[in-house]
Amino acid sequence: MIKNNVYWLLLIAFSASGILNAQEKITVMSYNVRYDEAVFNEGKLKENDWVNRKDAQIKLLAYFNPDIIGMQEPFLHQVKYFEHHLSKYDWIGNGREDGKVKGEYNPVFYNRERFELIESGTFWLSETPCQISKSWDAGYTRICTWGLFESRETQDQFYVFNTHFDSTGANARYHSAQLINKKVKEFTNGKPVIITGDFNFNPESSAYEQLTSNGLSDSRIVSKSIPYGPKATFNAFQYHEIPKERIDYVFVGNNIEVLSYSVLNNSYNLKFPSDHFPVLIKVQL
């Protein structure tokens, strides 16, 4: 009995002193929220325009409450809307067309109460990643937003990369995967890394094979629990059709354990908040 009491007293003391810190658990979402169509349709409101979907997206994000959100496609005014309505988050990112404010963003939103931003940046998916550019057979300018974050509780550090691969060029997607692997090796120096994005490829593609060839794993494949939700992530706003394409992913480094994986097919009034489903995972560093 005395030995047991001593054991528990030591355990409590070590826990209070921080010697037995719990491993960091983080929820991460990748979500293509789709651009604001009104920018291109001259103000003629259509059924799936962002003005009709934005509140549904806010409700979804507020309910699932991810620690990290990698978004794809929003313009700056959309990013600002999320910033206003998701008040506990800060974000990083730049417009892809000028490296400042023009064009689509790949913002990373993070819970400022849990994490501190250490450094961040943007690079272009091209042969000249430090310049505003596109290469290979890409149809559009594409970027990757990255950040190094530190837990305010445990001081653990980890990287997040958030990207959107080209939708037209298979060669561009393959070389973009090569570039991501190169940048992960260059930046992270062995620290945990999480990569969110709309990759516009399927698991059978050469780009997928390339991206997972150097220590990155598909979180759906390595999840400790059975994946939840549909396998496909692209719904094309077709509520009454079964989605077929899986093009949105969260990849993780080999020093991250994926505890759960889900694809969220939430809807409102027989409509989807975006033409992509969010991917939500829980990880342990």
Confidence of residue 23 (pLDDT cuts 50, 70, 90): confident
Amino acid 117: pLDDT: 98
CA dist., res. 233 & res. 276, Å (int): 6
**Least confident among 16-30, 254-268, 269-283:** 16-30
Q: Please state, rounded to an integer, the average pLDDT across all residues of the chain.
A: 93
Confidence of residue 17 (pLDDT cuts 50, 70, 90): very low
Amino acid 123: pLDDT: 98
Amino acid 14: pLDDT: 41
Q: Is the pLDDT of residue 13 over 70?
A: no
Count other Cβ atoms within 10 Å, centred on residue 125: 28
Q: Is the pLDDT of residue 215 over 90?
A: yes
On the CB side of 66, CA atoms within 13 Å amount to 27
Amino acid 275: pLDDT: 98
Token output for 183: 């940048």
According to DSSP, the β-strands at 193-198 and 157-164 are: parallel
Please report the domains of the chain, with CATH numbers, ordered by start residue.
Answer: 23-284 (3.60.10.10)
Mean pLDDT of 209-233: 98
Phi then psi for residue 251, to 5 deg, are -105, 150
The predicted-structure confidence for 37-69, as pLDDT tens digits, reads as follows 988 876 677 889 999 999 999 999 999 999 999
Amino acid at 42: E
Tell me what percent of the residues of the chain surpass a pLDDT of 90: 88
The gap between the terminal CA atoms of the chain, to the nearest Å, is 36
**Least confident among 9-13, 97-101, 177-181, 204-208:** 9-13
Burial 226-253 (b: 16+ CB within 10 A, else e): ebebbebbbbeeeeeeebeebbbbbbbb
Check: CB of residue 183 under 8 Å from CB of residue 150. Answer: no
Mean pLDDT of 197-218: 98
Burial 135-172 (b: 16+ CB within 10 A, else e): bbebebbbbbbbbbbebeeeebbbbbbbbbbbeebbeb
Check: CB of residue 97 under 8 Å from CB of residue 132. Answer: yes
Burial 185-194 (b: 16+ CB within 10 A, else e): eebbeeebbb
Mean pLDDT of 100-121: 98
The predicted-structure confidence for 148-159, as pLDDT tens digits, reads as follows 999 999 999 999
Amino acid 12: pLDDT: 45
